[in-house]
């Protein structure tokens, strides 16, 4: 079993000149990356007599230092806690209060954001670099030790810290390599923020297998498309909203070099997947289902398999999947129940939230509250998330099902459905929509369309057209930010 960072050291020793990272304007070899990480290890050693088990929070731009510091903390036996630059000052304060880091490291560009938030145990990254070196006393790091606390994007509430052990990622890298047919000759593009675990996992896996990582400072559709045309990128990790942005600016061009496109983070709509096949004609297009708490659960090859709409595909290696009812018994075919997994890749639990951790684990099984059923052919079909479920007039409504039907209407670009407290219904179904260009949206037209597809009780009681949706870093609609406008009496 391996720990985070070990393979990077091995690659640096064997292939020191191999390119590890390409950023907007810098190329870093594996030897340079390893030495930079070791440099930060020495600086941390000058602060802590023993860093093992110490929690180190950091707020840095999406750059090479981000990864160098992350690897330095993790491989030293510390626990890295990345802070999201998009958090408000109040969110950042809440997360720091929850995590209680032993040290906070931040870039001066965030000075105006962190005033009066960080404790005395905080340091600029430049100050850290200026500390005198202390001889390292390498810690014995176990593969079961925690190395990372990430925070969920908080689509429906306060972000929660999830704890990861070395083995839950490091031992999964080789299997991911096999599933997605990756190797050390690949040039992988991770255009999303490293604070999102999807892109962080992809970046660390890339370095673990000795490939070259392309790391933009931020996602920009034009710049990403330019990289795909000029840098001979072979693998790209995305969330669906990123593909939509690329598809809108590509001007009928296609990308010939990409061999693998890997998507997760949010449901990818079928028309968009089909468009991706045209945009990346030589790529194998993967969609995987997982969660920050569960890692990989299942995957499917979009352009090779004809599978039912809504299926999560095939189990990831060493993962078992079962649909269990609330009493813990196996659900019958067609019966909606809790999607549960048995896997060596699950997290250790939520930080400071024993009750919520217990809600995830049920004996050897784990669930994040997703609801699913098994169809007649044995495929697992995802229905939605339990915490999103609407109970209107005593009947259960899965908003994801309603959203899918609304999106199929030609005038709709995106849709989100939520339940709003109502004196008569208990909760009423409210739909938020954005429309395609030049579309004429009428409630009467949408209601007539939905009545032909859905039972009437599932159809929205109120419609709200918006210019755009708020999204999380994982490309999901931030439901908790949707607000029904106040009505004048």
Instruction: Compute CA distances 363 → 47, 305, 342, whole Å.
Output: 41, 34, 9
Give the model's pLDDT for residue 153: 63
CATH at 429: 3.30.300.30
Give the model's pLDDT for residue 269: 80
Q: How confident is the model at residue 213 (pLDDT cuts 50, 70, 90)?
A: very high
pLDDT, tens digit (0-9, with 9 covering 90-100), for 370-410? 999 999 999 999 988 888 888 887 788 888 889 989 998 98
| Whether 411 and 356 share a structural domain | no
Q: How confident is the model at residue 487 (pLDDT cuts 50, 70, 90)?
A: low
Give the model's pLDDT for residue 488: 47
| Whether 373 and 400 share a structural domain | no
Q: Is residue 428 part of a domain?
A: yes
Residues 387 and 369 sit within 8 Å (Cβ to Cβ): yes
Number of C-beta neighbours around residue 374 at 10 A: 20
Q: Please report which residue ranges of 321-471 form alpha helices under DSSP H.
A: 354-360, 399-407, 443-451
| Whether 121 and 173 share a structural domain | no
Please write down the HEC assignment for all residues of 283-309: CEEEEEEEECCCEEEEEEECCCCCCCC
Q: Is residue 86 part of a domain?
A: yes
d(CA 350, CA 135): 34
| Whether 376 and 394 share a structural domain | no
Give the model's pLDDT for residue 155: 47
What is the number of H-type helices and E-type strands within the chain? 14, 27
Q: Is residue 320 part of a domain?
A: yes
Domain that holds residue 433: 389-481
Q: Is residue 328 part of a domain?
A: yes
Concatenating the DSSP letter of every residue in 270-282 gives HHHHHHHHHHSTT
Domain count across the chain: 3
Give the model's pLDDT for residue 391: 85
Q: How confident is the model at residue 198 (pLDDT cuts 50, 70, 90)?
A: very high
| Report field, pTM of the whole predicted structure over 0.75 | yes
pLDDT, tens digit (0-9, with 9 covering 90-100), for 43-68? 999 999 889 999 999 999 999 999 99
Q: Is residue 489 part of a domain?
A: no
| Whether 377 and 404 share a structural domain | no
| Whether 339 and 477 share a structural domain | no
Q: Is the pLDDT of residue 320 over 70?
A: yes
Burial 156-188 (b: 16+ CB within 10 A, else e): eeebbbbbbbbbbbbbbbbbbbebbebeeebbb
| Whether 112 and 211 share a structural domain | no
pLDDT, tens digit (0-9, with 9 covering 90-100), for 277-318? 999 999 999 999 999 999 999 999 998 778 888 899 999 999
Q: Is residue 13 part of a domain?
A: no
Q: How confident is the model at residue 156 (pLDDT cuts 50, 70, 90)?
A: very low
Q: Is 232 exposed, middle or buried (0-12, 13-18, 19+ CB in 10 A)?
A: exposed
Give the model's pLDDT for residue 481: 84
| Whether 217 and 333 share a structural domain | yes
Name the percent of the chain lying above pLDDT 90.
64
| Whether 182 and 330 share a structural domain | yes
d(CA 171, CA 316): 13
CATH at 66: 3.40.50.980
Q: Give the residue from 369, 385, 401 where a domain finishes.
A: 385
Any idea what DSSP says for residue 364?
T
Instruction: Compute CA distances 107 → 59, 87, 121, 129, whole Å.
Output: 7, 15, 15, 12
- Report which of residues 155 and 307 the model is more confident about: 307
pLDDT, tens digit (0-9, with 9 covering 90-100), for 157-192? 577 899 999 999 999 999 999 999 999 999 999 999
Please write down the HEC assignment for all residues of 94-163: HHHHHHCCCEEEECHHHHHHHCCCCCCCEEEHHHHHHCCCCCCCCCCCCCCCEEEEEECCCCCCCCCEEE
Element (H, E) at 82: strand 79-82
Q: How confident is the prediction for the chain on average, in pLDDT? A: 90
| Whether 341 and 454 share a structural domain | no
Element (H, E) at 331: none
| Whether 297 and 190 share a structural domain | yes
Q: Is the pLDDT of residue 106 over 90?
A: yes
Least confident of 102-111, 355-364, 409-418, 478-487: 478-487
Phi/psi for 15 (5° steps) reads -135, 65
Q: Is residue 321 part of a domain?
A: yes
| Whether 403 and 375 share a structural domain | no
Name the percent of the chain lying above pLDDT 70.
96
Q: Is the pLDDT of residue 154 over 60?
A: no
Q: Give the residue from 338, 365, 385 where a domain finishes.
A: 385
Least confident of 17-21, 79-83, 439-443: 439-443
Q: Is residue 312 part of a domain?
A: yes
> Mean pLDDT, to the nearest integer, of 127-135?
86
């Amino acid at each position: 079993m391996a720990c985070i960072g070990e393979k990077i050291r091995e690659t640096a020793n064997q292939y020191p000149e191999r390119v590890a990272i390409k950023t907007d304007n810098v190329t870093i070899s594996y030897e340079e990356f390893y030495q930079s990480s070791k440099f930060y290890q020495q600086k941390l050693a000058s602060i802590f007599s023993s860093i093992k088990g110490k929690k180190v929070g950091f707020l840095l731009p999406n750059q090479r230092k981000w990864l160098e510091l992350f690897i330095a903390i993790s491989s030293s036996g510390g626990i890295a806690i990345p802070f999201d630059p998009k958090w408000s000052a109040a969110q950042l304060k809440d997360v720091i209060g929850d995590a209680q880091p032993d040290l906070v490291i931040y870039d001066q560009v965030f000075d105006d954001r962190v005033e009066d938030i960080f404790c005395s145990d905080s340091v600029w990254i430049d100050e850290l670099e200026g500390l005198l070196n202390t001889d390292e006393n390498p810690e014995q790091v176990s593969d079961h030790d925690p190395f990372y606390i990430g925070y969920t994007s908080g689509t429906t509430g306060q972000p929660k810290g999830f704890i990861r052990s070395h083995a839950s990622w490091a031992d999964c890298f080789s299997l991911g390599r096999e599933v997605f047919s990756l190797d050390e000759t690949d040039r992988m593009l991770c255009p999303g923020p490293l604070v999102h675990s999807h892109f962080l996992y992809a970046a660390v896996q890339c370095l673990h297998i000795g490939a070259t990582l392309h790391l933009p400072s931020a996602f920009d559709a034009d710049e990403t498309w330019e990289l795909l045309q000029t840098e001979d990128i072979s693998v790209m990790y995305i969330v669906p909203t990123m593909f939509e942005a690329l598809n809108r600016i590509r001007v009928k061009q296609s990308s010939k070099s990409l061999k693998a496109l890997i998507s997760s983070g949010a449901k990818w709509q079928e028309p968009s997947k089909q468009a991706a096949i045209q945009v990346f004609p030589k790529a194998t297009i993967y969609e995987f289902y997982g969660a920050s708490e569960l890692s990989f659960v299942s995957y499917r090859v979009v352009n090779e398999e004809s599978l039912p709409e809504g299926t999560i595909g095939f189990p990831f290696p060493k993962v078992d999947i079962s649909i269990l009812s609330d009493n813990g018994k196996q659900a019958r075919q067609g019966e909606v129940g809790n999607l549960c997994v048995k896997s060596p890749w699950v997290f250790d639990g939520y930080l400071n939230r024993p009750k919520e951790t217990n809600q995830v684990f049920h004996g050897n099984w784990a669930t994040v509250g997703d609801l699913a059923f098994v169809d007649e052919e044995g495929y697992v079909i995802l229905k939605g998330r339990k915490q999103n479920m609407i109970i209107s007039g005593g009947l259960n409504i899965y908003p994801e099902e309603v959203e899918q039907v609304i999106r199929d209407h030609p005038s709709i670009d995106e849709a989100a459905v939520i339940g709003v407290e109502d004196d008569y219904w208990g909760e009423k179904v409210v739909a938020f929509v954005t429309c395609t260009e030049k579309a004429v949206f009428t409630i009467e037209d949408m209601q007539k369309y939905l009545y032909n597809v859905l039972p009437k009780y599932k159809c929205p009681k109120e419609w709200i057209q918006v210019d755009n949706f708020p999204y999380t870093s994982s490309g999901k609609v931030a439901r908790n930010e949707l607000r029904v406008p106040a009505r004048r009496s």
